[in-house]
Amino acid sequence: MIRTEALRVFVTVAECGNIRDAADRLFRTQSAVSMTLKQLEQELGASLFEADRKNSLSDLGRFVVDTAKVLLRDHDTAIDQIKHYATGKSGRLRIASVPSVAALLMPEILAAFVKERPTAEIDLVDTNSADVRRLVSTGQADIGIASVAHGDSGLLHEPIFEDSMQLVCQETSPLAHHPGPLEWRHLNDMALILNETTRGIQAVEFRALAARTSLNVRNVISLLAMVRAGVGVTLLPGLATMGLPSTLLARPLADQGCRRQVCLLRREGRVQSPLAIAFQQHFIATLMSMTERFGILWTYKE
């Protein structure tokens, strides 16, 4: 059996022209190198050098050096690739995230992550929570960031942070300059536009309000356009209100229990790729240092 390492020893000796230098380079003793060479020659049944002195190769030796050099190069790059993949330095990662996180938090988080991993390929999809869950559970995304729905089978979720819901209205709205947090009753006279994030609100007062309206807009851009056009007001998580257009305002609610929970989702019973693991660690660690700046409430455990 010809060991790859024996070939490496031989190539090193051929390059150095003598055993001592090769032994130094390989962090072995002369005798170890000598014996490896002898064993290799025995294996091949022919001499690799012209003489005892290792400064001139035999015909066979030249052939073996040439062949072994490309073998070793290929071998080393392949092992390297494997190690990179195994340590999450390369590979492919598909992230599905709700728009607020994708737009406001991800840029900063991903910037540092990809900088350290120039060979990693990362796909970021932003879509609504339900779709994020679908993508993750069907294996089309490796990691999801969304609110959690009970009854999600096959998904593991780890709560990351909470985000208090805010009212979004025109700056000309009567509620715009209302002093202090808004009570539910203040919304009684307003036209309310529902959206995906309002589905998670449990408060009975809100559910009563919601029952009176049938306008439900999915896309955030459209939703804000509606509010801007005076169709009505809506509720959005605090994070999503950070880049609000100038004619709109966000106002806090008095009901502190009215929050959306953002979770990290992954498929159950599935070994994650090292890159996915690395991303999660990076995501948690980076995000933790960003909580204050974005006014979010950290709920991650462990």
Partner DNA sequence: CAATCTGGTTCAGCTTTCCTGAAGTTCTGT
Partner DNA sequence: ACAGAACTTCAGGAAAGCTGAACCAGATTG
> Pick from 53, 207, 218, 270: which binds DNA (CB under 7 A)?
53
Q: Which one of a copy of itself, DNA, none is in contact with 20 (Cβ closer than 5 to 8 A by kind)? A: DNA
- Indicate whether 58 belongs to the interface with DNA (CB under 7 A): no
DSSP run (H or E) holding 250: strand 248-252
DSSP run (H or E) holding 75: helix 59-86
> Pick from 52, 150, 269, 289: which binds a copy of itself (CB under 8 A)?
269
Residue list 51-70, contact with a copy of itself (CB under 8 A):
58-60, 63-64, 67-68, 70
CA distance 270 to 111: 27
- Helix/strand/coil for 1: coil
Residue list 70-89, contact with a copy of itself (CB under 8 A):
70-71, 74-75, 78-79, 81-83, 85-87
What residue type is 249 in one-letter code?
L
- Indicate whether 30 belongs to the interface with DNA (CB under 7 A): yes
- Indicate whether 36 belongs to the interface with DNA (CB under 7 A): yes
> Pick from 4, 29, 67, 119: which binds DNA (CB under 7 A)?
29
Instruction: Kindly tell me which of 81 and 299 has the beta carbon lying closer to a copy of itself.
Output: 81
Q: Per-residue x/- mask for a copy of itself, residues 271 to 290, rule CB under 8 A?
A: xxxx-xx-------------
- Indicate whether 44 belongs to the interface with a copy of itself (CB under 8 A): yes
CA distance 174 to 190: 10
Q: Which one of a copy of itself, DNA, none is in contact with 39 (Cβ closer than 5 to 8 A by kind)? A: DNA
Q: Which one of a copy of itself, DNA, none is in contact with 232 (Cβ closer than 5 to 8 A by kind)? A: none
DSSP letter for each residue of 272-285: PPHHHHHHHHHHHH
CB 24 within 8 Å of CB 12: no
Token representation of residue 140: 């089309």
According to DSSP, the β-strands at 259-267 and 233-237 are: unpaired
Question: C-beta of 143: minimal distance to DNA in Å?
Answer: 25
According to DSSP, the β-strands at 155-170 and 297-298 are: antiparallel
For 253, phi then psi, to 5°, come to -100, 150
- Indicate whether 54 belongs to the interface with DNA (CB under 7 A): yes
Going from the C-alpha of 66 to that of each of 33, 131, 271, the distances in angstroms are 20, 55, 41
**Cβ neighbours of residue 268 under 8 Å, at least 6 residues apart?**
154, 155, 156
3-11, 61-69, 113-121, 166-174 -> range binding DNA (CB under 7 A): 3-11
Instruction: Kindly tell me which of 4 and 222 has the beta carbon lying closer to a copy of itself.
Output: 4
Residues in contact with DNA by CB under 7 A are 3, 5-6, 18-20, 27-32, 34-39, 51-55
